Amino acid sequence: MRRPGGSGVPLPLLVPAAIGTLFLVLPLLGLVVRAPWSDLGARLAEPGVGQALRLSLLSATLATTASLVLGVPIAWVLARTRTRGRSVLRALVTVPLVLPPVVGGVALFLVLGRQGIVGRWLFETTGVTIPFTTLAVVIAETFVAMPFLVISVEGALRAADARFEDAAATLGADRWTTFRRVTLPLVAPGIAAGAVLCWARALGEFGATITFAGNFPGTTQTMPLAVYLALQSDPEAAIVLSLVLLVVSLATLLLLRDRWLTRSGAAA
Amino acid sequence: MSRRVRLALSVAAVLALTACGGTSAGDAASSASSAAASSAASSSGEDLTGTLTVFAAASLTDVFTDLGDRLEADHPGLDVQFNFAGSSQLATQLTQGAPADVFASANEAQMEVVTDAGLQAADPTVFTENVLEIAVPKGNPAHVTGLADFADPDLTLAVCAPDVPCGAAAQEVFQAAGIDAQPDTQEEDVKAALTKVQLGEVDAALVYATDVQAASGDVEGIEFPEAEQAVNQYPICTLEAAPNPDAAQAFVDLVDSDEGQQALEDAGFRAPTS
Amino acid sequence: MTLCADVTVARGALTVELDVEVADGEVLAVLGPNGAGKSTLLRVLAGLLLPDGGRVAVGRAGGEHDVWDDVAAGVHVPAHERRLGMVFQDHLLFPHLSVADNVAFGLRTRGVRKAPARAAARDWLARVGLAELGDRRPGQLSGGQAQRAALARALVGEPALLLLDEPLSALDARTRLTVRAELRRHLAEYAGSTVLVTHDPVDALALAGRVVVVEEGRVVQAGTPADVSRHPRTDYVARLVGLALLPGTGDGPVVRLDGGGAVAVAEETAGPVFVAVRPESVALYLDPPHGSPRNVWPARLVSATPHGSTVRCELDGEVPLVADVTATAVAELGLTPGTPVWAAVKASEVAVYAR
């Protein structure tokens, strides 16, 4: 007899779930198995590793911050306004999702590069160029990762009861106050989830970064770039770097889940 | 948003996530298996048939595609398939058991990986050479004149990463010339370096003569004497496990022929000096 | 602080055209079935919905009016600039704020400093009997407590206009009774105008000084609760207040019903009239009764629904009626749907009034 409301998973769900999990976990296991454990310590101590890791974490975090500042308002416009161009806007915002990241990098050149539409003006007036700088890394990662945030937050906003915003309006709150004091706290778990997704995507970003920001240790060489280049000459070093990236990102996500996601989740 | 749209978007998200890796080697494996299937059809003395699979360095893409077409034209029953990629990627694929008839490497190191594994049918021979050249945007706006300009921190400069062959060669010439290079970026491959010249985003990049030749409309090449310090020699060999050994030999012969050498020269390669 | 509103709003197929006026201290109940346009009116008054035509104005102390909406003049004051309080059906307390912060919210947005806003919130929480619960989250309150907190939140700023949108309908029957009584007390103390939207006639009768009945976007009847319940003008109102409403033509002591049959009445009438029969005036028999009742009709029992201490029996026959009988009587007569019965009503218990 099955207990009412018991935890039994129906077979049609269990089998694909198990296969899916294996599919996702086995490549990871492959990395762990193939890692050169004997000289791991020496390899980790190489200065390039820490440098690339620091740059990765910094740029992914900055990209997530930029995505929050720019992406949450986009999500709000998509979820809460009835502008005629809304569906076009949504399609445009999700373009980076389907664009091969390398193409995204070239596109960024065409706008922000030294010969780009905006970049040329910037260079001629201030002498500042964006490509091949850490700023370029952050821009490339933001370009690729922000859609993930926008889509998550838009979903959260749509799921949130808009009548709370009506209630706030009858209590004297204008739309900005309502957004800050009611909407934002209500969708905080959704924003947190979107930010995590965005951060993870930014951390793994490769194509747009190496195209638009180039690759130079300490300035623009993030972990995925270091992994890719190590793969050309020293596959074992690539595995070590991959593992470091994995461990750090998993640890960060688990930590956030405990400290942040569950707390904002409880508030809702 | 309707549920269906949301689903489509999340699918798109997943696709974008999976598409962000490097180049794929999937084509190579599938074409190789079809080569194995049809290999029984070819035998010596008769016209070449079946499928010929050539693993070749990415820099050979244009020339070899052209030579492949010529071979197919001479042998209507023959289908020539190429797997163009970085030499190290190809060497890895071959040592992992990818079936192929011919391997043409952009350097001797990666050929050694293959010969060390005993995969060659005959000793490799050098069939062409490639040397570094300075690529500058059309009109040379930064007035780059020679290798010494790579020490100028005010210029925006690209070289290849030391991990890839063109980067290793760049290091050699800088060392030989005693130049402390100040690049702004170490590109993952020579094409990426060239793209940045084409876009005008760097003032100069160190690439191969063949790359300058291929992009001759957009970039200008500047030869420099120190390039002789790092001549890139391209070895080629047929492979022991070749499913179509006759066609493999025919292809290598074509590459070594006057016709093949002329095609290489037109693409910016030069005949082997040694 | 009189409220004057005369607005037109197109809501798909329905056009809402309502004209209401509410004096200071008055409670107006807007009564009507779902989809009649009641909530649309409330949203227009709150400024959450733009009317397609008309005007909304609220009187000020000096006798002048603040115009909140005037479509012709292009005036629209947004919701957050209107001095009003609103209580929603399911309270809509902000889940991420404490109960006290919820109550203080309106004061804070209107520029009151933290400490005085907190103090006012505590004061109002005490008035609605929630003094101890200010630090809780809304999720930790019962339905009745949450609705009290929502009332405190709406009233704390002493708004000119109080809007109540089905404030009791999400509560269970017993809680509704107590909250209704408290609401009545608070409304009696409140100096501004109140508009109460409800589909429950008991709320309307218990809380409002005046009732407008809205059907399909139009006012079909207006008056005091007693007036409306005694003299319903549409079938909906009649059924709502429990009356069977029968249109007919007066012919001396008899009214000939439009639907067929006749009713003996206590006063003589002529011309088109309504005949209203209260359910408790209808007696049921299995055999034709003899004696004093002068109106007896054969009927068939359609349904029997317990309604407080009585059972409401819906009858189908030449004259459709509703009867309230005791549970004992239902058992003794063995009434089940389909049972043929005789319905009897004394002439003196039949209300008759001109159409």
Contact B13 A148 (CB under 8 A): yes
Find the residue in C nearest to A167 (Cα): C92
CA C162, C166, C171, C175 dihedral sign is positive
* B31: confidence class by pLDDT, cuts 50, 70, 90: very low
- pLDDT confidence of residue A146: 96
* Cα–Cα dist A63/A142, whole Å: 5
Residue C147's Cα: distance from chain center in Å? 18
Q: pLDDT digits over C146-166, tens only?
A: 999 999 999 998 899 999 999
Contact B200 A114 (CB under 8 A): yes
**Test the C interface: residue of A171, A177, A183, A263 with most C CBs within 10 Å:** A171
- pLDDT confidence of residue B205: 96
* B52: confidence class by pLDDT, cuts 50, 70, 90: very high
- pLDDT confidence of residue C311: 83
**Burial group, residue A5, by CB count within 10 angstroms (0-12, 13-18, 19+):** exposed
Is pLDDT larger for residue A221 or for residue B22?
A221
* Cα–Cα dist C57/C315, whole Å: 47
Q: pLDDT digits over A110-144, tens only?
A: 999 988 999 999 999 998 889 999 999 999 999 99
User: Which one of B17, B156, B163 has the shortest CB-CB distance to A232?
Assistant: B163
Q: pLDDT digits over C54-92, tens only?
A: 999 998 766 778 899 999 999 999 999 999 999 998 999
* Cα–Cα dist B106/B91, whole Å: 11
Maximum separation of any 2 CA atoms in chain A, in Å:
78
Mean pLDDT in residue range A156-178: 94
ipTM over 0.90: no
Contact A167 C79 (CB under 8 A): no
- pLDDT confidence of residue A268: 38
- pLDDT confidence of residue B30: 40
**B200 contact A CB<8A:** yes
**Test the A interface: residue of C68, C80, C108 with most A CBs within 10 Å:** C80
Which alpha helices (DSSP H) does chain C contain, by range? 38-46, 99-109, 114-127, 143-155, 173-189, 201-207, 225-230, 235-240, 327-333
**A173 contact C CB<8A:** yes
Report yes or no: A205 and A104 within 8 Å, Cβ to Cβ.
no
- pLDDT confidence of residue A127: 87
Q: pLDDT digits over C222-234, tens only?
A: 998 878 877 778 8
* A4: confidence class by pLDDT, cuts 50, 70, 90: low
**C157 contact A CB<8A:** yes
* C1: confidence class by pLDDT, cuts 50, 70, 90: low
Contact B187 A214 (CB under 8 A): yes
**A82 contact C CB<8A:** no
Chains interfacing with A (3 or more CB pairs < 8 Å): B, C
* A46: confidence class by pLDDT, cuts 50, 70, 90: confident
Q: Are strands C27-31 and C210-215 parallel, antiparallel or unpaired?
A: parallel
Mean pLDDT in residue range C162-180: 87
For residue A2, the 8-state DSSP code is: P
**B185 contact A CB<8A:** yes
Domains of chain B in start order, with CATH, are 24-129+234-266 (3.40.190.10), 132-230 (3.40.190.120)
Average pLDDT, chain B: 83
Q: CB neighbours of B260 closer than 8 A, spacing ≥ 6?
A: B67, B127, B254
At which residue do the structure tokens 């346009």 appear?
C37
Domains of chain C in start order, with CATH, are 3-238 (3.40.50.300), 243-354 (2.40.50.100)
Which alpha helices (DSSP H) does A81-183 contain, by range? 86-93, 95-98, 101-112, 117-126, 134-159, 163-170, 175-178
Residues of A in contact with B6 (CB under 8 A): 155
Q: pLDDT digits over B143-163, tens only?
A: 999 999 999 999 999 999 988
**CA nearest to C275, candidates C299, C251, C304:** C251
Mean pLDDT in residue range A5-30: 87
For residue C58, list its beta bridge partners.
C3, C66
**B86 contact A CB<8A:** yes
Contact B199 A129 (CB under 8 A): no
* Cα–Cα dist B113/B134, whole Å: 30
Residue C127's Cα: distance from chain center in Å? 25
Contact A168 C105 (CB under 8 A): yes
Q: How far is A123 from chain B (nearest CA, A)?
A: 11
**Test the A interface: residue of B163, B190, B191 with most A CBs within 10 Å:** B163
Kindly tell me if the per-residue pLDDT of A1 is higher than 80: no
Touching chains C and B? (3+ Cβ pairs < 8 A): no
Q: Are strands B50-57 and B78-85 parallel, antiparallel or unpaired?
A: parallel
Q: How far is C316 from chain A (nearest CA, A)?
A: 43
Contact A228 B22 (CB under 8 A): yes
Percent over 90 (pLDDT), chain A: 62
Domain boundaries, chain A: 47-99+146-208+221-267
**CA nearest to C70, candidates C58, C80, C86:** C58
Q: pLDDT digits over C103-127, tens only?
A: 999 999 999 999 999 999 999 999 9
Mean pLDDT in residue range C329-345: 87
Q: pLDDT digits over C244-268, tens only?
A: 778 889 888 889 988 888 888 888 8
- pLDDT confidence of residue A261: 56
Q: How far is A154 from chain B (nearest CA, A)?
A: 9
**B108 contact A CB<8A:** no
- pLDDT confidence of residue C293: 61
**C163 contact A CB<8A:** yes
Is pLDDT larger for residue A248 or for residue B94?
B94
Is pLDDT larger for residue B47 or for residue B171?
B171
Q: pLDDT digits over A237-247, tens only?
A: 888 889 888 88
Touching chains A and C? (3+ Cβ pairs < 8 A): yes
- pLDDT confidence of residue A170: 95
* C134: confidence class by pLDDT, cuts 50, 70, 90: very high
Residues of A in contact with C80 (CB under 8 A): 168-174, 177-178
Q: pLDDT digits over B88-130, tens only?
A: 889 999 999 999 999 999 888 899 999 999 999 999 999 999 9
Q: pLDDT digits over C304-322, tens only?
A: 877 667 788 888 888 888 8
Percent over 70 (pLDDT), chain A: 93
Contact A173 C47 (CB under 8 A): no
**CA nearest to B136, candidates B124, B144, B146:** B144
Residue C148, by phi and psi: left (phi above 0), alpha (psi -120 to 50) or beta? alpha
Percent over 90 (pLDDT), chain B: 63
Find the residue in A nearest to C150 (Cα): A167
Tell me which fold the domain A47-99+146-208+221-267 belongs to.
MetI-like fold (1.10.3720)
For residue C76, list its beta bridge partners.
C69
Q: Are strands B219-222 and B132-137 parallel, antiparallel or unpaired?
A: antiparallel
- pLDDT confidence of residue B27: 40
Q: Cα-atom radius of gyration of chain C, to the nearest Å? A: 24
Residues of A in contact with B21 (CB under 8 A): 206
Residues of A in contact with C43 (CB under 8 A): 166
For residue A182, the surrounding DSSP H or E stretch is: none
Q: How far is C240 from chain A (nearest CA, A)?
A: 29
For residue C111, the surrounding DSSP H or E stretch is: none
* A264: confidence class by pLDDT, cuts 50, 70, 90: very low
Q: How far is B208 from chain A (nearest CA, A)?
A: 18
What are the Cα distances from residue C73, in Å, to C70, C77, C102? 5, 12, 36
Report yes or no: B186 and B34 within 8 Å, Cβ to Cβ.
no
* Cα–Cα dist B265/C345, whole Å: 116
